[in-house]
Amino acid sequence: MGILSKKATCNSHGQDSSYFLGWQEYEKNPYHESLNPSGIIQMGLAENQLSFDLLESWIAQNPDAAGFKRDGQSIFRELALFQDYHGLPAFKEALVEFMSEIRGKRVGFDPRNIVLTAGATSANEALMFCLAEAGDAILIPTPYYPGFDRDLKWRTGAEIVPIQCTSSNGFKITASALEEAYATAHRQNLRVKAVLVTNPSNPLGTTMSEDELNLLVTFVISKGIHLVSDEIYSGTVFSSPSFKSIVEVLSERPDCRQSASDVWDRVHIVYSLSKDLGLPGFRVGAIYSSNRAVVEAATKMSSFGLVSSQTQYFLSAMLSDKKFTGHYIAENRRRLGQRHESLVRGLREAGIRCLDSNAGLFCWVDMRHLLKSNTFEAEIELWKKIVYEVRLNISPGSSCHCTEPGWFRVCFANMTEETLGLSMRRIKEFVAAYSGAASTPSCGGCGGDEMRNHRHHSKGSSGKNKFLNKWVFRLSPSHRREADDR
Amino acid sequence: MRSGRKPLLSKLATNDGHAENSPYFDGWKAYERDPFHPTRNADGVIQMGLAENQLCFDMIEEWLINNPQASICTAQGLGMFKDTAIFQDYHGLPEFRNAVAKFMGRVRGNRAKFDPDRIVMSGGATGAHELISFCLADPGDTFLVPTPYYPGFDRDVCWRTGVQLLPVVCDSSNGFMVTRNALESAYENAKAANTPVKGLLITNPSNPLGTVLDKETLRDILSFVNEKNIHLVSDEIYSATVFNDKPRFTGVSEIIEEDQTLCNPNLVHVIYSLSKDLGFPGFRVGIVYSYNDEVVGCARKMSSFGLVSSQTQHLVASLLSDDVFVEKFLSESARRLENRHRIFTDNLDQVGIKCLQRNAGLFQLMDLSHLLRDKTFEAEMELWKVIIDEVKLNISPGSSFHSSEPGWFRVCIANMDDQTVDVALRRIRAFVSRSEGAMAASAKKKRCWQNQNRKLRVSLSYRRMEELMMMPPLSPIPQSPLLRAQT
């Protein structure tokens, strides 16, 4: 007694994976264009920082939403007291309309089917608590978002069984992979409860094809299991093929008519504003389901992670402004497309290819030709070089449970155009040196210019300066003079 | 292979563990259907079942007007918008943690100091309780909890965690004090039933009692958990609702700082929130504060499932960093709470209703046992239904708080304006005199008439309850004007 729970002491939170270790390295030596130009550039964080100016300009023009006011009257008291787990009706209405707009208004959503949660992290976990328990398995196509290991398994006790996808067909889901995964789960004595897909995909950046979607629907109908479609990147689709949501596919299938099938009771969508609007700090997630029992249970569970009423109110005002949302959705897509193009081009100039993608905040990059051997050890070795020498924090495919070594997820929307350009220059230099040399000196990957122009920081107010201190003492011998000049 | 008869949803989704089928919520449903409004519905049900603190909003609103930079959406605060909006670090904004730690210390008269690095965020105290239970206990483990206790614990501590709550029975013979005997006895019961005790959950100041634990009892509790090597979770969410020093509020932090040999600090954890002290339940600011480094680490990772909106963190950090405001707020809030307390106790006393002596909380515990037909929980429920249906006050019966004695009712008094207080007190006075008038008649005739009348009233009440049960499930929260608002 007095010891902690098993959950507290086990590893299921997944935080020891390389996905998070890369972040830790970044924290110790973060790039800053003036304070630390040779630091590590963060390309492992799928944030959307491209469209804040649009949000800020809306805010400046709409002071009421900012100041807890409606029509000039203070509603602070009502907001501060509002803890109804059904959520602010105006916000839910605005949210479902926003979701519909993202899908070109081809489908409509009922606000009564929405459950608000503190981020998609909470939405995914709450949904799992409703659908599965210890002894159950969720099938997920690889590669997948590393956070799922924590969100879906840790406190629920459910297991994940991968649906293996490979580069041979662009990592698309196949019927045989589905069946194989199902059989694997059974061999492990697990009951399969659901398939969970991320569409558009993280880390692939692709939208699921109509064939894949139909395959999935057929599969869940035949097995009588749930289908969860995590569509948090639905607003990041910047080129064709256009995004097709799971509900569109269901609406079009004759065997899914409500009278013919109960599949609608088993299809659920997860959404969030963290990626499309770039507001991960606000913790706005949602579960959408037409299964009343799921909505009711999940609504009660949302008590453990509600969305702040302050945030609900602000966003309901913003998302109800249709002129704004229309312009935002289109402009955001355009900027993402442009940025994607810059990354793809930059990598191509370094002789590196990406999976063809049309969505997301990242590219799925093929660096198999740079591996010393076709193994995950080699992948990690390459990854470490890229983190420590090229000073780019990218995510190795193994952290996303990819079955083939050599793939990396590289984010492009969480930095300025200039920083992206710099990262491409570093990659090019690295590839040139790497392919040519047998071994590289410890700082061979460092861009010479940045080291010479490096200025040490003075005491700043940013918390990041704490990390610069630690970094300074890790400089290699050839740079000791700069350290002493501080 | 077809799924056959595999259940569609999990057990959690379909069981009663959410505890919302308790009568605790039926009163709220009555309120939802017929909410009091001073002009539009003067005969409606007055909400006295919700422990909200509405007494000091004017002070906060004034502060907000004078501090526009506290919102990241005003012209003054917009410069912080982007950095705040992308900040999802589960450590929380440093300024938020610093401000909350400082506030917690202030509330305790700076007799305890809180380390910002031990502050872990959660989705309100609701989320905090679930989170700490996940960290400390496995499914099947037991937590002891003194009765009467907040009904929400049944959901928060037990539902998804699989942990059980075992009552430590306290009664009015000694003012519901938590005795060493009661603790030992509950612990032994658990052992005998083969349900390993992992911890003890106390609420100090208490909900529903409104009392604070005295120093001796707290020391006893700490020595008890230390001896058994079990955890102590101290829910201190009402710590700033203490309105006088009789007795002074002592939190566990003060004791373990004073006497480091009394209890292994790795066993001590505090739950906090801004919902009661500041009146911000909508903002979902819950805090888990642990003296155990491993728990802090685990809790922080788990806090991903219920982080505080960074927009709200920024607001709270600004507010609580304003030392002048905080001082002013704490003393004025205490004054208003004491004033409201006196109004109620004086008026209730005048009609012969005694309340448990208290100096904290947002509610009173009224002793209505003399109005019960007999000392049973059935009689308590009957009286409760009469109070809801006829007196039109939604108050909470002691049974919903797992009280061991019938006749106690919790009535919330800080969630209404002075006008509504008057109406509520008037109704209570009228009800008591009606009951007394009825009791003045001869015993035999009286019993006969009462039985018939009561049966009639009760059957009417039951029918109305049944109607209410048929309504679509409502959140156990009263109707907010925001539900009707258009954007």
Question: For a pLDDT cut of 70, what percent of chain B falls above it?
Answer: 88
Q: Are residues B402 and B290 in the same domain?
A: no
- Copy the structure tokens of residue A220: 């869940």
Strand ranges, E, within A347-468:
353-354, 362-366, 392-393, 395-396, 407-411
Of B326, B346, B377, which residue constitutes the final position of a domain? B326
| Per-residue model confidence as pLDDT tens digits over B243-253 | 999 999 999 99
A85 to chain B: which residues are within 8 Å by CB? Answer: 475, 477
Domain carrying residue B113: 57-326
Quick check: is B171 in a domain? yes
The pLDDT of residue B479 is 52
Mean pLDDT of chain B: 90
| Pick from B2, B73, B275: CB nearest A314 | B73
Instruction: Name the domain boundary from B326, B347, B382.
Output: B326
Min Cα separation B357/chain A (Å):
28
For residues B317 and B430, state if they share a domain: no
To 5 degrees, how large is the angle CA A374–CA A375–CA A378? 100
Considering B119, B132, B230, B237, which one is annotated as catalytic? B237
Check CB contact of B394 with chain A, cutoff 8 Å. no
Residue B445 included in any domain: no
Number of domains in chain B: 2
Q: How far apart are CA A484 and CA B309, in angstroms?
A: 42
Same domain, B137 and B213: yes
| Number of neighbours of residue B257 by Cβ within 10 angstroms | 14
Are residues B104 and B114 in contact, defined by beta-carbon separation less than 8 angstroms?
yes
Are B300 and B402 in a shared domain? no
CATH of the domain at B396: 3.90.1150.10
Among the listed residues B26, B235, B277, B367, the single catalytic one is B235
Q: B20 and B120: one domain?
A: no
Residue B455 lies in a domain: no
- Kindly report the nearest CA distance between residue B8 and chain A, in angstroms: 7
Mark yes or no for CB contact A307/B284 under 8 Å. Answer: yes
Please tell me whether residues B149 and B223 are part of one structural domain.
Answer: yes
Looking at the structure, do residues B292 and B412 belong to the same domain, yes or no?
no
- pLDDT for the residue B7: 76
What is the largest distance, in Å, between two alpha-carbon atoms of chain A? Answer: 77
Give the mean pLDDT of B196-208.
97
Mean pLDDT per 10-residue interval, chain A, length 486 residues: 79 63 87 94 95 95 82 90 96 98 96 98 98 97 96 97 97 98 98 98 97 97 97 97 94 87 94 97 97 97 97 96 97 98 97 97 97 96 94 95 97 96 96 67 41 35 40 34 30
- pLDDT tens string B232-270: 999 999 999 999 999 999 999 999 999 999 999 999 999
A229 DSSP β-pair partners: A197, A269
Q: Which two tokens stand for residue A393?
A: 């924090």
CA B190 – CA A448 distance, rounded (Å): 69
Q: Looking at the domain assignment, is residue B241 inside a domain?
A: yes
Do B51 and B63 lie in a common domain? no
The last residue of one of the domains, among B275, B296, B326, is B326
The pLDDT score that the predictor gives to residue B448 is 61
Q: Tell me if B1 is assigned to some domain.
A: no
Q: Are B319 and B428 found together in one domain?
A: no
What is the pLDDT at residue A450?
Answer: 37
State the residue for tokens 């685990």.
B298
For residue B459, what pLDDT band results from cuts at 50, 70 and 90? Answer: very low
- At B192, which CATH number? 3.40.640.10
pLDDT for B4 beyond 90 = no
In this structure, the answer to whether residues B211 and B124 fall within a common structural domain is: yes
B452 within a domain of the structure (yes/no) = no
| B467 located within any domain | no
B237 catalytic, yes or no? yes
Give the pLDDT band of residue B230 (cuts 50, 70, 90). Answer: very high
Answer whether A119 sits within 8 Å of B307, measured CB to CB. Answer: yes
pTM of the full structure: 0.89
Q: Please indicate, yes or no, whether residues B138 and B204 belong to a single structural domain of this protein.
A: yes
CA separation (Å) from A62 to A57, A66, A70, A452? 9, 7, 11, 47
From A368's Cα to the closest Cα of chain B, the distance in A is 33
Whether B235 is a known active-site residue: answer yes
Q: What is the pLDDT of residue B451?
A: 61
* Cβ contact B2–A224 (<8 Å): yes
**Span B38-56, average pLDDT:** 94
Q: Is A161 left (phi over 0), alpha (psi -120 to 50) or beta?
A: beta
> How much is the pLDDT for B481?
52
Is residue B468 included in any domain, yes or no?
Answer: no
Are residues B225 and B359 both part of a single domain? no
Q: Do B57 and A76 make contact, defined as CB atoms within 8 angstroms?
A: yes
Joined tokens for residue A52:
């804040």
pLDDT of B20 above 70 = yes
- pLDDT, one tens digit per residue, over A217-270 is 999 999 999 999 999 999 999 999 999 999 999 999 998 987 778 999 999 999
Give pLDDT tens digits for B273-300.
Answer: 999 999 999 999 999 999 999 999 999 9
